[in-house]
DNA sequence: ATCCTTTATTTGACTGAGTCCATAAATTGA
DNA sequence: TCAATTTATGGACTCAGTCAAATAAAGGAT
């Protein structure tokens, strides 16, 4: 099921140039916004509408081929690493986003101390901090 | 330092009717949006501008008197429970948000498997799921 | 290969949440 | 009490994303 064409068919979705290009764009530039992906797609196929990009990102995320993350204060980001319970580390200064594996292995992340009767299906973890580059920069400016 | 007036003074902030009312509104209705808080404030003091509400929420959050959370697909929410490393459980269906204590006690939440050279200052955890009410509703409609 | 139905894409208007900026008002501290 | 500073107001504006109607492309049956 790694072939995107198969994947789309398998989910009853038509195979379109836009969807395939969006998929490739997400793989090429992980953690980028719809806007960036749209540009990337345009450099590959001649043109896409913004709406088509949003549609593609939306349905692909829904079907589980890509993942959408929506960090505070940033437009949504998309990545193709999926189904592996990993988390993100985001720089407060420059927004740089990197993957981190789940600290606790499999999926005990899903465990909350008290679930308040909720049925929990995902634990989203975002680590906020400062990336090495921005750390260096601020050290320099403080000197 | 529990008196908000003292708190504001202590941080070199002027004590204004708007700020105090915003503070009270956040305490009264935890996990509400700027919009809801603005209405709440208006019911107390006669009028506030949207901007004043955003300003107050912003500076109060910055000084650590309130906390801002920004869940995916929702406007920012504010709460007055602060400095206790708790997390949130959000219903995907109705958006209901409840507090959960950190599963691991103190603050080991701050530990990522690999920090990639970042200096981490916060681990934000959001548990996504379905609240009891929405679970019941969907069980009924499936019957 | 062609036609027909379904599914996607385009275009352009529109919304919600939040910010910017210049002016007016309130707060502070001398 | 008065100037200096800090906030608040009002209104325009931006950004990210959605809606909806019309058009075009895919997929299936013939």
Per-residue pLDDT at B99: 92
Per-residue pLDDT at B112: 65
- Nucleotide of closest approach to B73 (CA, C1'): D17
CA atoms of B109 and B105, how far apart (whole Å):
9
CA atoms of A126 and A69, how far apart (whole Å):
10
- Nucleotide of closest approach to B35 (CA, C1'): C17
Q: Do B127 and A124 touch (CB under 8 A)?
A: yes
In Å, what is the CA distance from A22 to each residue of A76, A86, A96, B46, B141? 15, 22, 21, 50, 36
- Which positions on strand C lie below 7 Å from a protein C-beta? 7-12, 16-21, 26-29
In Å, what is the CA distance from A69 to each residue of A79, A99, B25? 8, 12, 30
CA atoms of B68 and B58, how far apart (whole Å):
9
Phi-psi region of A14 (alpha: psi -120 to 50; beta: other; left: phi over 0): beta
Per-residue pLDDT at A83: 83
Q: Where in chain A is the domain with CATH 1.10.10.10?
A: 4-69
B45-98 pLDDT per residue, tens = 989 999 999 999 999 999 999 999 999 999 999 999 998 878 999 999 889 999
Q: Where in chain B is the domain with CATH 3.30.1490.190?
A: 84-142
Per-residue pLDDT at A118: 93
Per-residue pLDDT at B105: 47
A75-108 pLDDT per residue, tens = 999 999 998 878 999 999 899 999 988 755 444 4
Per-block average pLDDT, block size 10, for chain A (143 residues)? 87 96 97 97 95 98 95 95 88 92 57 81 89 88 66
Chain B's closest residue to A112, CA to CA, is: B103
Q: Which residues contact A20 (CB under 8 A, 6 or more apart)?
A: A4, A5
Per-residue pLDDT at A98: 94
CA atoms of B135 and A124, how far apart (whole Å):
21
Q: Would you list the DSSP string of B39-78?
A: HHHHTTSS---HHHHHHHHHHHHHHTSSEEE--TTS--EE
This complex has an ipTM of 0.87
Per-residue pLDDT at B103: 59
C9: residue with closest CA to C1': A52
Per-residue pLDDT at B108: 46
Chain A residue numbers touching B121 (CB-CB < 8 A):
92, 128-130
Per-residue pLDDT at A70: 94
Is there a contact between B110 and B87 (Cβ–Cβ < 8 Å)? no
Find the Å distance, CA of residue A103 to C1' of nucleotide D19: 41
Write the CATH number of the domain with boundaries B84-142.
3.30.1490.190
Is there a contact between B68 and B76 (Cβ–Cβ < 8 Å)? yes
Find the Å distance, CA of residue A45 to C1' of nucleotide D19: 26
Chain A residue numbers touching B131 (CB-CB < 8 A):
116-118
Q: Do B119 and A101 touch (CB under 8 A)?
A: no
Per-residue pLDDT at B122: 86
Higher pLDDT, B32 or A108: B32
pLDDT(B43) > 90: yes
State percent of chain B over pLDDT 70. Answer: 89
pLDDT(B29) > 60: yes
Chain B residue numbers touching A118 (CB-CB < 8 A):
89, 91, 98, 127, 129-132
Per-residue pLDDT at B107: 46
Write the CATH number of the domain with boundaries B4-69.
1.10.10.10
Per-residue pLDDT at B110: 60
Instruction: State the nearest Cα–Cα gap between A3 and chain B, in angstroms.
Output: 30
Chain A residue numbers touching B114 (CB-CB < 8 A):
100-101
Mean of the per-residue pLDDT values of chain A: 89
């Amino acid at each position: 099921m790694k072939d995107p064409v198969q994947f789309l068919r398998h989910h009853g979705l038509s195979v379109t140039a836009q969807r395939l290009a969006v998929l490739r764009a997400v793989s090429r530039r992980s953690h980028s916004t719809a806007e960036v992906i749209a540009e990337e797609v345009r450099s590959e196929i001649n043109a896409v509408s913004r709406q088509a990009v949003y549609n593609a990102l939306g349905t692909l995320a829904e079907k589980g081929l890509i993942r959408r993350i929506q960090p505070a204060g940033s437009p949504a980001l998309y990545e193709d690493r999926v189904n592996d319970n990993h988390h993100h580390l985001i720089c407060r200064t420059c927004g740089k986003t990197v993957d981190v594996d789940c600290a606790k292995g499999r999926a005990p992340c899903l465990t909350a101390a008290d679930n308040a009767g909720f049925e929990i299906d995902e634990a989203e973890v975002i680590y906020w901090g400062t990336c090495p580059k921005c750390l260096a920069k601020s050290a320099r400016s403080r000197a």
